[in-house]
Structure formats: structure tokens, C-alpha cells
A and B are shown apart, each in its own frame.
Chain A
Amino acid sequence: GEDVEQSLFLSVREGDSSVINCTYTDSSSTYLYWYKQEPGAGLQLLTYIFSNMDMKQDQRLTVLLNKKDKHLSLRIADTQTGDSAIYFCALWGGGYQKVTFGTGTKLQVIP
């Protein structure tokens, strides 16, 4: 099946930018999503990008897609303590016709 990899942990200082990375194996994925999970809660959809786009910006969030390298990233500008959470990338479609989630990256924001 599809493999979706993320680094497990990222620590940044408040006010800095955070970049969370995701690599995947199925190049035919059509929609790529970013979700945020706060402790003890479900996943909240943050943003998504369609596979024919290279970049999408939504306020403090910037999503970059490099299809050649099968690499997706989420940049959070001016990171705040409220951004501390686990971030999941998720890919829809391609040969598997289902959503595959990455392992999640825990973002710690240091005041």
C-alpha cells in the first residue's frame, strides 16, 4: 500500500516559522490534506492541496507540493503556543482509493 512518512517530533520557538514535512510513495494521489490534532481530541482539517498545484497559502499556513520528489510540506508562520499539536498529512486517491495518513509530527512550541 501507500507509504506516508513524517518525522515524529519538531520543536520551535514562539514567533519562528515551523516546517512540517511529509514524503509519500504513490505519485497518483489526487488530494493531499493537513490535519491538526490537539491532545485528547479528534483531527481538525487545516488545509488541502490538489495534485495539480505547487503551492497554496491560507493566512499563516503555506502548503508546498513537490510531485517530482513526492514531498509535501506545511509551513506555519509566526508559530504560537496554540499551534502545539500533532500534525498529520493525509493522501486521497491514486491507486488505493482511500485516505492514507502519515504517522504524525508532534509540534512543540517553546514560549
Chain B
Amino acid sequence: DGGITQSPKYLFRKEGQNVTLSCEQNLNHDAMYWYRQDPGQGLRLIYYSQIVNDFQKGDIAEGYSVSREKKESFPLTVTSAQKNPTAFYLCASSKTRATNSPLHFGNGTRLTVT
């Protein structure tokens, strides 16, 4: 079955450490996205990529970095510069970035930084 796999489901890190969240899709989708979810705030876009080797900042990119070396993979690194990294992170993909191409989501990674 096609889908989006995020790993790990839970991640714990000490303050000051960088951490990388994995996102892999086998839907053959061109576009991939990272969102951050905080209680009562909906989803906020961190980064998105429309094609391999290209990505753009979303609304809250500061303290995060991404790469898109393969179509299937879009890892997110939460750096020590991110002031409040504890959150639920969701990866999504869409066939294209056109308006009629709905987002498909992974099951998320819950990151806790202490």
C-alpha cells in the first residue's frame, strides 16, 4: 500500500542538540511538506519542496532545515536554534502543488526537548 512513513513516532532530545525527523513516501508525489502542530493552533507550514533538489521556506522556517535529495525522502532537521522545538511534526505530500492536489499525511513524530 502506498503511503507516507514518518519515523520515529516519539523522539526525546536534550536542549542544544540537533535532531533529524525522517519522512519517506512511496506515492510518487512531486511535492512534500513539513508542518508543525501545537495544541489549539492548527498546522503551520515549516518548509515545502515541489521537486527534487529544491525547497522553499514556509511560515515558520527559522531554526529548521531540510533537504530533498530523492523524490521519496524529505528529512527535517530541528536545530538548536529553534527556540521552542517541542511539538508534533507532520509530513505531507501531494501529487503536485496544484490547487486540486490534496495533501496526504504521515502519522507524525512527537518531539520532546528537555
| B102 in contact with A43 (CB, 8 Å) | no
Chain A residues with CB under 8 A of B108: 40-42
* Contact of A88 with B by CB under 8 A: yes
* Residues in B neighbouring A42, C-beta threshold 8 A: 4, 6, 90, 92, 105-108
Q: Does A24 contact B (CB under 8 A)?
A: no
The 8 Å CB contact of A103, one of B42, B105, B110, is B42
- Determine if B103 is an interface residue (Cβ-Cβ < 8 Å): yes
Is there contact, CB below 8 Å, between B104 and A45? yes
The CA-CA distance from A104 to B104 in the complex, in Å, is: 17
Q: Say yes or no: A8 contacts B40, CB within 8 Å.
A: yes
Question: Interface residues of B: mostly helix, strand, loop or mixed?
Answer: loop
B99 touches A101 (CB 8 A): no
B51: Cβ under 8 A from any A Cβ: no
Give 11 A-B pairs besides A31-B99, A40-B108, A42-B105 with Cβ atoms closer than 8 angstroms: A4-B42, A30-B99, A33-B102, A41-B107, A42-B108, A43-B43, A88-B43, A90-B103, A99-B103, A103-B41, A103-B42
Interface residues in chain B, defined as those with a beta carbon under 8 Å from any beta carbon in chain A? 4, 6, 40-43, 45, 48, 58-59, 90, 92, 99-100, 102-108, 110
18 chain-A/chain-B pairs, Cβ below 8 angstroms: A4-B42, A30-B100, A33-B102, A33-B103, A41-B108, A42-B105, A43-B92, A43-B103, A43-B105, A45-B102, A50-B100, A90-B103, A92-B100, A93-B99, A103-B40, A103-B41, A103-B42, A104-B42
